């Protein structure tokens, strides 16, 4: 029954569609029969809707433009306006856009032709003149064996034991008290680092200092944040 078929070409945009309508009707681009063109343009949009093609907003903007031009052509101009302004064809702006679009559409066709011509020619891809690997000269089998032997020997397991430094807080507390006595009961915290100077010693020394403070064996004084900490003998608690 339904022998009515629409071959829907996909249109990139409203201008492409409008151009298609104009070309199909073979009308003069400088004198577009706006009523016919608008009607057909809208028919296309409706067909697109029917086929559930999402219509981009640009298509609708163009539809509105066409309708506006159509109405402007239909409506009589107010007499005052007629005298004031020179009559400008409301289609003019649209025609200019269409002409420019057509120019580039033709240019695209021309590029396409050039491309086809060029595609008949085959050329080589540029050669990669990268690094050329050069093998060393004058090597003998002995050299290889020697090299292998050298590698073989170097793989012998060799271990070195690194003793872990064990400093107890207890030891460090003794250190601090001894040092304080040596320094006449007053010294800087930095001076308690007397062994390996490792992070472990530093932390231990700090813990030892805190412990000594708790036991009231030492007192500390720090004038400002991150400044040097001074340790002093605390009052001896019996």
Residue 60 as a binder of another protein (CB under 8 A): the answer is no
Which listed residue (1, 75, 88, 121) binds another protein by CB under 8 A? Answer: 121
Q: Could you say which of 117, 184, 224, 225 contacts another protein (CB under 8 A)?
A: 117
Q: Would you say how long the chain is, in residues?
A: 238
What angle do helix axes 57-74 and 34-50 make, rounded to 10 degrees? 150
**Dihedral pair phi/psi, residue 155, rounded to 5°:** -85, -5
Give the Å distances, CA to CA, from 203 to 89, 90, 155, 218, 233: 89, 87, 39, 17, 21
Q: Classify 30 in phi/psi space as left (phi over 0), alpha (psi -120 to 50) or beta.
A: alpha
What is the footprint of another protein within residues 65-104 (CB under 8 A)?
A: 97, 100-104
Contact region with another protein (CB under 8 A), list: 10-18, 79-87, 136-144, 178-186: 10-18
b/e 29-61 (16+ beta carbons within 10 angstroms → b): eeebebeebbebbeebbeebeeeeeeeeeebee
Q: Please report how close the Cβ of residue 103 comes to another protein at its closest, in angstroms.
A: 6
Token pair listed for 233:
């003998």
Contact between 20 and another protein per CB under 8 A: no
Binder among 80, 115, 134, 236 for another protein (CB under 8 A): 115
Q: Is 45 in the site for another protein (CB under 8 A)?
A: no
Annotate each residue in 155-194 with x if it binds another protein (CB under 8 A) or - if it does not, as one string.
----------------------------------------
Residues lying near another protein in the complex (CB under 8 A) are found at 12-16, 56, 58, 62, 97, 100-112, 114-115, 117-127
């Amino acid at each position: 029954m339904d022998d009515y078929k629409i071959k829907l070409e996909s249109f990139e945009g409203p201008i492409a569609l409008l151009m298609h309508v104009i070309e199909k009707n073979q009308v003069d681009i400088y004198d577009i029969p706006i009523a016919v063109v608008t009607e057909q343009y809208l028919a296309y949009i409706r067909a697109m809707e029917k086929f559930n093609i999402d219509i981009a907003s640009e298509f609708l903007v163009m539809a509105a433009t066409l309708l506006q031009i159509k109405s402007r052509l239909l409506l009589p101009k107010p007499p005052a306006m007629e005298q004031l302004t020179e009559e400008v064809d409301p289609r003019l702006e649209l025609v200019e856009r269409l002409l420019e679009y057509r120019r580039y559409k033709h240019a695209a066709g021309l590029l396409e032709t050039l491309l086809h011509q060029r595609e008949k020619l085959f050329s080589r891809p540029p050669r990669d003149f990268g690094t050329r690997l050069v093998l060393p000269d004058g090597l003998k089998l002995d050299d290889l064996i020697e090299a292998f032997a050298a590698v073989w020997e170097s793989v012998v397991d060799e271990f070195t034991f690194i003793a872990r430094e064990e400093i107890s807080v207890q030891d460090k507390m003794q250190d601090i008290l001894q040092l304080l006595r040596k320094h006449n009961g007053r010294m800087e915290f930095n001076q308690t680092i007397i062994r390996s100077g490792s992070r472990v010693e530093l932390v231990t020394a700090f813990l030892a200092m805190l412990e000594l403070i708790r036991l009231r064996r030492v007192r500390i004084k720090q004038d400002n944040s991150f400044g040097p900490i001074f340790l002093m003998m605390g009052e001896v608690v019996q």
